Amino acid sequence: MLAPLLVAAVAILTARVDAAGPPKVATRPVDQRLELELDPGSRTWSGSLLATLRVAAGTRTFELRLAGPVPSRVELTDATGRVPITWGTRGDTALAIEASRPLAAGRGALSVAFDGAWRDVTQGAPRETGRGLHRDAGHSGAHLRAGAGSVFPAWPAGTAATPWTLLVHAPRTHEVRASGRRTGVDATRDWRTWTFRVARPVPADSLRVSVRRMGAPR
């Protein structure tokens, strides 16, 4: 019984998003941080997106592209603090968010955590989740091939070029390459965190990430 109720709730929410339409001055991200935990030897991968927002007064609903990952947590703040929200997915193509009240103008933030499954290179058809993260045969490496909407929620194409910080957690035995300038590598016993900064505004679709076991053929 729960599944039909959830589907109905999401349908109502996304209908509200469609009916409301975009505000006169859109709420947009001004800086974004994408964090990924990528171990090609594991069954799944995970990540989070933190977007610093320029909030347009009165915004209640907005929608992000989504194609692959499954959101597990969504949080929203505006200039007054945390805002209660309702959120849901429309298939695997959109993440719809509705605030409990009109947002206050100023700075805000949207945080989304998500999980996905790999698309193995040896398979001919994409899986329902993880369609943009391809994993090499033998599980020696993985790479982001398709960009936004494939492995993380993103604003509609053409509306949100921002600077980016990329944090990639990978096994210590692996090397990471990504868009932007590498600004640091922090190590623990079994993992390393690679940090990259894209200082100029670029669309999410332009981001690239690869993880490969050291010594593995390219």
- Taken as a whole, the chain contains a residue count of 218
- The helix/strand/coil state of 204 is helix
CB 64 within 8 Å of CB 95:
yes
- Residue 151 is predicted with a pLDDT of 78
pLDDT band at 68 (very low <50, low <70, confident <90, very high): confident
Find out whether 160 and 29 touch, Cβ atoms under 8 Å: yes
Q: What is the pLDDT of residue 150?
A: 63
**133-135 and 119-120: which strand pairing?**
parallel
Residue with token string 């469609």: 18
**Residue 204: pLDDT above 50?**
yes
| Closest to 153 (Cα-Cα) out of 33, 20, 22 | 33
Does the structure show a pLDDT above 60 at 15? no
Domain 2-213, CATH class in plain words: mainly beta
Task: Determine the pLDDT at residue 117.
Answer: 85
Sheet-wide strand order for 94-99: 61-65, 94-99, 85-90
- Residue 179 in this model has a pLDDT that exceeds 50: yes
Annotated domain spans of the chain:
2-213
Check residue 125 and give its pLDDT. 45
Q: What is the predicted pLDDT for the residue at 183?
A: 97
Chain centre distance of CA 204: 9
- Determine the pLDDT at residue 210: 93
* More confidently predicted of 30 and 11: 30
pLDDT digits (tens, 9 = 90+) for 72-120: 999 999 999 999 999 999 877 889 999 999 999 999 999 999 998 888 8
What's residue 42's pLDDT? 93
